[in-house]
Structure 1
Amino acid sequence: MTPAPAGRDPDARASLPLLLDAVLGVGSEPELQATLQHIVDSATELCAARYGALGVVDPERVRLTGLYTAGMTEAERAALPELPDGRTGLPGALISDPRPLMPQDLSKDSRAAGLPPGHPLMRSYLGVPIRVHTEVFGHLHLAGKEGGGPFTDQDLALLRVLASQAGTAIGNARLYETARRRERWIEGAAAVTTTLLAGRPAADALMCVAERARLLADAAAGVVLQPTPEGGMEIVAASTHGDPGDLVGTTIAPGSAVLGQLLGGEPVFIEDSATDPRMTTPVRERFGPSMMLPLQSGGRLIGTLALPRPRGGRPYDAVDRLLASQFASQAALALVLADAQHDREQLAVYEDRDRIARDLHDLVVQRLFATEMMLESTKKRAAAAPAGDTVGEDTVGEDLARAVDELDSTIQEVRTAIFALQQPPSDAPTTFRGRVLRETGGAAVLLGFQPSVQFTGAVDTLLPEPVAGDLLAALRAALAAAHRRSEVTSIEVAVDATPARVRLTVTDDGRTTSGTRGTTRTWESAL
């Protein structure tokens, strides 16, 4: 057997394949949590340690917010009342001074104090920081060197190489995770915008925002608060895993420390809702970390979106706060646009009502006035005619017949206006096909049944607006006339369009004044 070259450590050379496998392995997982667990498993195997842990440091709170372990059984994990928080002991020493630690005997090192009850006994220890660029992301902790001896300088060198490569892998995994989180929030904001612009009622719109935000933030609840006339804020919409009934109606009374920030449109971030003195609502006891974000657009404060997590829940990090704030801004803009769209639709309805009022004045009132004048003239002529004048009597009869026809036409105009007023105010179709269906749908309210409609040809593209308006007016008149007839049980509407002409046919099975059943009316226009 060939001896090792002078100056080469056989153990170091034997560790190189393990180090290579570990370095290659830590970059193989795109998910951050899987990457962290793989790092601690690789470090434990590489340095022949019994126990390993990777603590994630929150730079804002300067404490551990996550701990990944290797070598501990489920029973040993369950025996720990709580995991180290990084404020004391060796984790705390590494956080305050992020340089490698390798004490020879933990039992004689004062920095090893503060381990929770039930923690496995350890004598040897090795810890190194993990840096992502210039930021300390966390620390690798190894304990219990196999064989009972202390960790060596070679173990330290191997672990530092692994920690350096782990920093790169963690940086990539964090970028991947942030990109996925951002994608989910963007998709959620787009879905909320689409839903709100579909014409949902105001209460449903706020509930949509609360529910979507709760799911995206992985929160225990999503609530929307709005200002009250008394100067406070009230929860008007709430989404939870269970029944949110006890949340809706909860108020923040005037004078609360947090109220000024919320009414001023400022975001508020809470570490623990149950213990924060700024929180005064009775429901705060059940919640922990929370974000309270303004729903504000164009200087208009619609309300506040609150996303509390349960007691002891994972705190929100900087990325959570940024993405949720962007979502709240987008949701507020969508709410404003939905309100504006609703106002535009209402304005269109009011304009349509004005048009109908003008039609009633121009057509119906003038026709009634003309009929009145005709009857007045007939009355005077009848009074002045000598007795037995048959010619005069015939003339009076003809005038009365014309008056009856005029009144009949006037009644039809009034019925046409009534049909137009029956149209649902929230619908404002722009295509000819949609407008025809809107007219027949409105007529169904008075008729008691839905007229059948058939289209032939490209009616939406072939008909110019003037022709479409004339046909719709004719359709209203035909539906109103059909409603006047007795025993009507069905109405068929057919629109047939070609590049040269368009034809509207309305057929009903009602009984006419002469006793016959069935009437067909047709309108045709050149294109």
Structure 2
Amino acid sequence: MLPQLKLDDLLTELQARLETVRSTRDRVHALLEAVVSIGGDLDLETVLHRITEAATTLVDARYGALGVIGDEGEHLIQFVTVGVTQEEIDRIGHWPHGHGILGLLIKEPRPLRLHDLAEHPESYGFPAGHPPMRGFVGVPIRVRDEVFGNLYLTEKAGGGDFDEQDEIVLTALATAAGVAIENARLYAAGRRRERWLAASGEVTTALLSGRAPADVIALVAERARQICDARLSMVALADEAAGTFVIEAAAGPDADRLQGLRVPLEQSVALRVYRSGEPSSLLEGQALAGDLEVGPVLIVPLGTGTAARGVIWVGNAPDAPPFRQDTVRLLEAFAGPVTVALELAERRSDAERLTLLEDRDRIAKDLHDTVIQRLFATAMTLMSATKLIERPDVSLRVRRAIDDLDDTIRQIRSTIFALQTPPDAEGLRSRLHTIVDAAAESLGFAPSVRLAGLLDTAVDEEIGEHLLAVAHEALSNIARHAHAGEASVNVDVGDSDLTLRVEDDGVGIPEGGRRSGLRNMADRAHRLGGTFTVQPRPEGGTRLVWTVPLPSES
């Protein structure tokens, strides 16, 4: 019987070892399949999920998580989980970044199992609502010499403990995972650099080709969002006089709510970036536009020192990981050429404006020194000739021609004054034309306009505002009551007074009609020390004459 017993024990031992070999072979096959699986994609988020799924499968764990460590290596910035329901995530809430069990693996990046944690003084601090763990194993994932993150596995199938073989398999998987993660990061960085090069060239070309600045700034916001893979981006330019940042362009969800928004300088997180010229990456940004909340934020300056113009701001959802340093460098590099291109475009615009003003000044001088002088000489000649004309009808015609020449001279002088106004300045002359053009729609025809004198220089702001209000009221009255087919607006700026004449060929002012508009115009004239008259025209219609004195130059 003794030899038989020894043979049975030997067969049992042999069978056990064969099972171990078979199990090891299966694990090696599974590990190889996992390595191939995690290396089959270059999207970082997909790679992280595949690593976590492969780890839970290899060690028969119910729950798996991969924690990504921040650039400063002190806390977790991202968590990828497998086997955890949304209800459990909501119950657990935030993971204890940098504290307790998870913090221990950050401080000591080495394989750890449950019995190692039980003996360590810092292995405490489960999140509130976290279910009890009957098994745990964690291994670091290294990318070159950098600890990228840690794999956490809990609850082994069958309720057993994770053994040394599980630790070895996970360590091998973590090594392969480091290579896959590095490849995915390099691929993502390469794609971002491609977008950066394309965006920089596109924005610079757009600026230097003469596109409208507003369109280019909107393009900057969109390309900044793409470079950083951000949810939302903005370009905010500083208005030092008003003490605010003006959001000139925004891209992404809720961009329409942000466009044109003004943020006080002192209340904005971008102020330090704008003043110092140094980029800033924040884990959590301030709320925007009321209930619009953002998570991680990256802000880079547009220019530094006296050339500072504003900032480029990008943000992600509240639960997104913070922006990495390579993204910060790319956006900062993108902002540099954009600032230079904006400066060059502004200088070119100034040069074009100066050239236009020089051309206008030259034309104005030619009109004044040549055309007006010749017309004036012709009028003087005709005036002297009238004394020699014996026929009254011929003399009358000549006098009318002289009056026409005087009117032409006044019109040319008015044109000279308009030429001397900067093209982008909204003077009183242009505002008055805007009112007349707007009235054409309600009138059904375009009123004639005649503006003579130094309207933009001799009329102060107070009188100008009253003039615009009276002209608007007069044209509104014609549209509502006159039933006119023609109307004219004439403004004469003399040496001491301003006169506005508004005429129409309508039905005139009926007896007993409302006079509130006319009283308002009369009150405005009297308030400025002037006069206001309303009278019928001999050929039909109504003539309004509004005259106010101009302030003396002394």
What is the TM-score when the length of structure 1 is the normalising length?
0.62
* Distance in 2 separating the partners of 1:302 and 1:78: 43
CA 1:285–1:94 in 2, change beyond 3 Å: closer, same or farther?
same
Q: 1:345 aligns with which of 338, 341, 352?
A: 352
Unaligned runs of 5+ in 1: 383-391, 427-446, 449-527
Matched, 1:248 2:255: no
Instruction: Number of aligned residue pairs: give it.
Output: 408
Matched, 1:316 2:328: no
For residue 51 of structure 2, give the secondary structure of its aligned residue in structure 1.
Answer: helix
Letter in 2 for 1:326: A
Letter in 2 for 1:354: D
1:204-353 alignment, distance < 5 Å? 209=220, 213=224, 217=228, 218=230, 222=234, 224-226=236-238, 228-229=240-241, 233-237=243-247, 239=250, 241=254, 243-244=257-258, 248-252=262-266, 262-273=274-285, 289-296=296-303, 300-307=307-314, 314-353=321-360
* Distance in 2 separating the partners of 1:33 and 1:269: 21
* Distance in 2 separating the partners of 1:249 and 1:41: 45
Measure how far apart 1:267 and its partner are: 3.0
1:318-467 alignment, distance < 5 Å? 318-361=325-368, 363-365=370-372, 367-368=374-375, 371=378
Measure how far apart 1:56 and its partner are: 0.7
| Residues 273 and 300, structure 2, Cα contact 8 Å, conserved in 1 | no
* Distance in 1 separating the partners of 2:189 and 2:298: 19
Measure how far apart 1:93 and its partner are: 1.9
Measure how far apart 1:38 and its partner are: 0.4
* Distance in 2 separating the partners of 1:5 and 1:311: 53
Residues 155-177 of structure 1: per-residue CA shift (max 9 Å, x gap): 22222221111111100101112
For residue 151 of structure 2, give the secondary structure of its aligned residue in structure 1.
Answer: strand
Letter in 2 for 1:352: D
* Distance in 2 separating the partners of 1:372 and 1:192: 58
* Distance in 1 separating the partners of 2:39 and 2:423: 59
| Residues 297 and 332, structure 1, Cα contact 8 Å, conserved in 2 | no
* Distance in 2 separating the partners of 1:334 and 1:322: 19
* Distance in 1 separating the partners of 2:22 and 2:354: 87
Identity %: 37
Measure how far apart 1:294 and its partner are: 1.9
* Distance in 2 separating the partners of 1:88 and 1:247: 43
1:141 is aligned to 152
* Distance in 2 separating the partners of 1:228 and 1:298: 13
Measure how far apart 1:61 and its partner are: 4.9
Matched, 1:82 2:107: no
Letter in 1 for 2:154: A
Measure how far apart 1:195 and its partner are: 5.4
Unaligned runs of 5+ in 2: 1-10, 425-444, 447-554
What is the TM-score when the length of structure 2 is the normalising length?
0.59
1:130 is aligned to 141
Matched, 1:102 2:109: no
Residues 279-338 of structure 1: per-residue CA shift (max 9 Å, x gap): 9x9989955543342211695112334445565653222123222222332332232233
- C-alpha RMSD over aligned residues: 5.1
1:44 is aligned to 56
CA 1:35–1:348 in 2, change beyond 3 Å: closer, same or farther?
same
* Distance in 1 separating the partners of 2:239 and 2:361: 36
Residues 73-130 of structure 1: per-residue CA shift (max 9 Å, x gap): 33333332223424321x2222111111234486676654212133343222222111
Measure how far apart 1:65 and its partner are: 1.0
Q: 1:169 aligns with which of 153, 172, 180?
A: 180
| Residues 277 and 305, structure 2, Cα contact 8 Å, conserved in 1 | no
CA 1:75–1:287 in 2, change beyond 3 Å: closer, same or farther?
closer
Measure how far apart 1:154 and its partner are: 2.5
